[in-house]
Amino acid sequence: MGRTINVGVIGAGRIGKLHAQNLAFRVPDAKLVAIADVVLEAAQVSAAACGCSTVYPDYHAILDDRDIEGVVICSSTDTHAAIVEEAAAAGKHIFCEKPLDLNLARIDRVLGAVNKAGVKLQVGFNRRFDANFKRVRDLVASGEIGTPQIVRITSRDPRPPPISYVKVSGGIFLDMTIHDFDMARYLIGDEVSEVFAAGGVMVDPAIGEAGDIDTTVITLRYAHGAIGTIDNSRQAVYGYDQRVEVFGSKGMAAVANNKPDSAEWSTADGIHSSLPLFFFLERYNDSYIAEMRAFVECIQRDTAPLVTGADGRAPVVMGRAALKSYQENRPVKLSEV
């Protein structure tokens, strides 16, 4: 047990409520001091569930509270950059959900503000904290599978998001594949230099009408020679499909889907098992707790966050390159973006 870190949560939507509950009940050295949301009722509901007595309709009240050391930003994407800059100026350590912004110039301005203020910034790529994916990363880093040659990432949602979300999310490459772009870098500790994206509308015509696609396969070329693929679908009818594989010169490491149980049963009709966990909050519950504990620990120990601002910027570059590749039907080097 270290010293207690007072934390305020900005944004009481689905992910804000989750982080607030984890801070209140599952991160021993954190104290949830306040929750802010422009919809005050949302903040009140979240606070009541967490035993938190202080709520605000304006997040500036959290930034003005000298007793709060860390802020967790879970508001809408278009507000992230401004709030991070203001939080940095207020001397708060910052956890911000991805992406920092959809515009690279604004991200660079944010990172400059954070560096100038000397505060910590951790970006919310929770999958790095999943025990299964971390095990693959550790095996690669230790040389257990030799030199990485092929990376395969499958990420498919059980159902499409609301069209209202699709219209403002930045598109599949920046709201969904962004996690996989981060995984692509994380799993083998190498940078992607070029992407080629193919895609289409195969799930819901309304997604196409909103200007997005719902199905994509992306080929990656890494700086040190490895190649990779990412495949995404907005709808896997059997559940939340999350798998990775790294193939190398000495072997292979892979992660299968998490299921509610590991039982298999055999009948005359075939061999059966339970479907994968259906929702991302179930699949990544433990990783959300682990990332918040890591945020609190980096403040306590005065160490660098495990997911830095630079780590937050790189997948946005990859997403921009993938969109350009899809639109122009050609490979795009990240240096073009």
DSSP 8-class letter at 276? P
Tell me if 101 sits within 8 A of 81, measured CB to CB: yes
3-state secondary structure of 233: strand
Where in the sequence is the domain holding 60, given as residue range(s)? 5-119
Instruction: Tell me the two tokens of residue 139.
Output: 């095996």
300 within a domain of the structure (yes/no): no
Instruction: Please say whether the beta carbons of 216 and 154 come within 8 A.
Output: no
> Are 105 and 177 in the same domain?
no
Average the pLDDT over 143-169 and give the result.
95
Which residues neighbour 164 within 8 Å (Cβ) at sequence distance 6 or greater?
none
Is 102 found in the same domain as 46? yes
For 273-326, what is each residue's pLDDT tens digit? 998 988 787 889 999 999 999 999 999 999 999 999 999 999 999 999 999 999
Given a contact cutoff of 8 angstroms between Cβ atoms, the answer to whether 86 and 64 are in contact is no
Domain for residue 256, yes or no?
A: yes
User: Both 132 and 191 in a single domain?
Assistant: yes
Rounded to whole angstroms, the Cα distance separating 246 from 151 reads: 5
One domain, residues 29 and 89: yes
Q: Is residue 51 part of a domain?
A: yes
Distances (CA, A) of 74 to 8, 19, 246, 250, 257: 11, 9, 32, 42, 27
198 and 274: one domain?
Answer: yes
CATH number for the domain harbouring residue 86: 3.40.50.720
Whether 184 and 136 share a structural domain: yes
Residue 283, CB half-sphere, CA atoms under 13 Å: how many?
24
* Within a domain: 232: yes
Residue with tokens 């598109």: 171
pTM over 0.85: yes
Report the C-alpha gap between 64 and 302 in whole angstroms. 22
The lowest-confidence range among 41-50, 159-168, 215-224 is: 159-168
Mean pLDDT, residues 65-71: 98
Asked whether residue 290 is domain-assigned, the answer is: no
Q: What is the pLDDT of residue 282?
A: 83
Residues 69 and 217 occupy one common structural domain: no
Burial class for 330, CB neighbours closer than 10 Å (0-12, 13-18, 19+): exposed
- Of 86, 119, 152, the last residue of a domain is 119
> Which residue among 119, 138, 153 closes a domain?
119
Could you read off the pLDDT of 75-134 as tens digits, one per residue?
999 999 999 999 999 999 999 999 999 999 999 999 999 999 999 999 999 999 999 999
Q: Is 38 a member of any domain?
A: yes
| pLDDT at residue 85 in the model | 98
Judged against a pLDDT cut of 70, whether residue 168 lies above it is answered with: yes
Helix axes 309-328, 104-117, angle to 10 degrees: 170
- What residues contact residue 244 under an 8 Å CB cut-off, 6+ apart? 133, 136, 151, 152, 153, 154, 183, 187, 254, 255
99: preceding bond cis by omega (within 30 degrees): yes
Residues 252, 331 within the same domain:
yes
Amino acid identity of residue 285, one-letter, is N
184 and 275 both lie in a single domain: yes
- Please state, as a whole number, how many other Cβ atoms lie within 10 Å of the Cβ of residue 126: 25
The CATH number linked to 166 is 3.30.360.10
**What's the sign of the alpha-carbon dihedral 137, 138, 141, 146?**
negative
Number of domains in the chain: 2
Residues 44 and 85 in one domain: yes
Band (pLDDT 50/70/90 cuts) for residue 1 is low
What gap in Å lies between CA 244 and CA 154, rounded to an integer? 6
- Whether residue 243 lies inside any domain: the answer is yes
Distance CA 40, CA 52 (A): 14
Q: Are 101 and 155 contained in the same domain?
A: no
| Inside any domain, residue 43 | yes
Final residue in a domain of this structure, among 94, 119, 144: 119
Single-letter amino acid code for the residue at 32: L
Same domain, 268 and 169: yes
